[in-house]
Structure 1
């Protein structure tokens, strides 16, 4: 049924710089506090952490890095994961919940076209009450199927548009609660490994996922919710890399990641983005464009 692929093989990463207005909208709406932040963000530190992430993706993992300049008029635009879902040669431009964020897609759409991806738009529906909403931080792709978290930011109609776009894959919806996104409580730690928080809410979501899937996944549980969001990449060198929160941010979870044998572990700081309600995966879009020349 599904045209399954091995998860994690990427060639490109698209990122967007941290603007001077970083954290403004999250502070205004209290989103940072809901996600365990509450402290004021440090712009200079956020920019340094962003530089370390992009350096790791380019220099250590070996991806081709495409950086979109920051836009102070779009304070959340660095959360680039939210505005596109990419699989194979198709990029679905999403429809974030807040109207102010929807213009973030313009620059991303341009890059997707330059990479010769087929761009699909998720527009508002005529006569609909509000229309579909979908943010990439609510979408977990496993290489075998999609899970979409129904949250304050993503609705069922948004998941249906995703399913219509990627017809080769099963798309299942799961509830997430407490103001978090699906990718805040789980991520892929390898082709068949789901990394998940040990919180009660995450456990409930995982049980639902296990009931909905026909595939078997190994489960790596981490005690700190922030550690559940990591980035697994099999780079051009065919080595397995895992970017994860460092010991000074998630000290109790380091030993769990060390169970992943033969991985190159890359501790990557994300404290300032976390204060703004985001995570490591929020800061990049990963793409596989093998055998293409630009």
Structure 2
């Protein structure tokens, strides 16, 4: 049956630490193509995120150690889709990322979630790929962005796994991943970038849904990815990019009345094509296993 828990209610956050070879192989200021990333700063920002989730929101934090053999494994959102008591272990597009699922599989199993594998006919032989950065769950339905990392086969596996919810596919217009241009700001609010591509994707989503959503438009695309949580205290929290990273977006976030706004830096991870939600998996469990 569909999970009747209030949307955004979570008890645990699963994260994976920033490895020493974050973005590259050596040096404190790492090179990734033309982009320079700072390892120490990335680790500080990761610490601030985990601190906010644990100390301010009140979630129980499960941290998987960093792994230099899996330098992108800190993008933990990509490797599992969790809804209710079910965790779908995904199949990332890059072959070198597929070993990242092993540690996450162990954690969600220990949390007594029902683990579904993306294997069999939809896996190796079917060529299906699916990453969490392309999946937006609204509490009522799933939208799956068709991107360079997620294809229709992956969306079909998701639909087969979560049969209580409608699953719609939309092309990602003007952004690398669906959740780079939009996220949820509550049970009925979609936060979306003001870019032309994002607006086009939103129009497609509106045509595909039977539900009405309020729309909060964010002027900066990097600010459109937020993390909404209704914590154990039943307060509404929104983790969002801070003023020094998205100065024009702060006034839009302040329209969310009665929310606790938690500015959370993500500049270093964003240089590598990640976003705030890339850095955690959120789980709702009634009992404590850790």
Query: Scaled by the length of structure 2, what TM-score is found?
Result: 0.94
Superposed displacement of residue 290, structure 1: 1.9
Q: Corresponding residue for 2:60?
A: 64
Counting matched residue pairs gives: 284
Superposed displacement of residue 126, structure 1: 7.8
Aligned partners of 1:223 and 1:253 also within 8 Å = yes
Q: Corresponding residue for 1:8?
A: 8
1:110-169 Cα distance to aligned partner (Å, 9 max, x none)? 000000001000025389766100000000000000000000000001000000000000
Kindly report which structure 2 residues correspond to 1:252-267, keeping only aligned pairs within 5 A, or say none.
252-267=248-263
Aligned partners of 2:18 and 2:46 also within 8 Å = yes
SS in 1 for 2:249: helix
Kindly report which structure 2 residues correspond to 1:38-49, keeping only aligned pairs within 5 A, or say none.
38-49=34-45
Kindly report which structure 2 residues correspond to 1:181-260, keeping only aligned pairs within 5 A, or say none.
181-260=177-256
Superposed displacement of residue 177, structure 1: 3.6
Measure the CA separation in 1 of the matches of 2:4 and 2:169: 19
Runs of 4+ in 1 over 2 A off after TM superposition: 1-6, 124-130, 291-294
Measure the CA separation in 2 of the matches of 1:83 and 1:4: 24
Q: Corresponding residue for 1:18?
A: 18
Q: Corresponding residue for 1:275?
A: 271
Kindly indicate whether structure 1 or structure 2 has the higher relative contact order, using CA contacts under 8 Å at least 6 residues apart. Answer: 1
Superposed displacement of residue 5, structure 1: 4.7
1:207-251 Cα distance to aligned partner (Å, 9 max, x none)? 000000001100000000000000000000001100000000000
Aligned partners of 1:62 and 1:235 also within 8 Å = yes
Measure the CA separation in 1 of the matches of 2:174 and 2:200: 12
Q: Classify 1:128/1:86 alpha carbon distance in 2 versus 1 (closer, same or farther; 3 Å).
A: closer
| Alignment equivalent of 1:116, drawn from 112, 115, 120 | 112
SS in 1 for 2:112: coil
Aligned partners of 1:11 and 1:235 also within 8 Å = yes
Superposed displacement of residue 6, structure 1: 2.8
SS in 2 for 1:251: coil
Aligned partners of 2:175 and 2:181 also within 8 Å = no
Superposed displacement of residue 105, structure 1: 0.3
Q: Corresponding residue for 1:29?
A: none
Q: Point out where structure 2 has 5 or more consecutive residues left out of the alignment.
A: 26-31
Q: Classify 1:166/1:52 alpha carbon distance in 2 versus 1 (closer, same or farther; 3 Å).
A: same
Cα root mean square deviation, aligned = 1.8
SS in 1 for 2:269: helix
Measure the CA separation in 1 of the matches of 2:123 and 2:257: 53
Aligned partners of 2:91 and 2:123 also within 8 Å = no
1:89-118 Cα distance to aligned partner (Å, 9 max, x none)? 000000000000000000000000000001
Measure the CA separation in 1 of the matches of 2:287 and 2:145: 33
Measure the CA separation in 1 of the matches of 2:114 and 2:126: 26
Structure 1 range deviating more: 156-165 or 3-12:
3-12
Kindly report which structure 2 residues correspond to 1:22-41, keeping only aligned pairs within 5 A, or say none.
22-24=22-24, 38-41=34-37
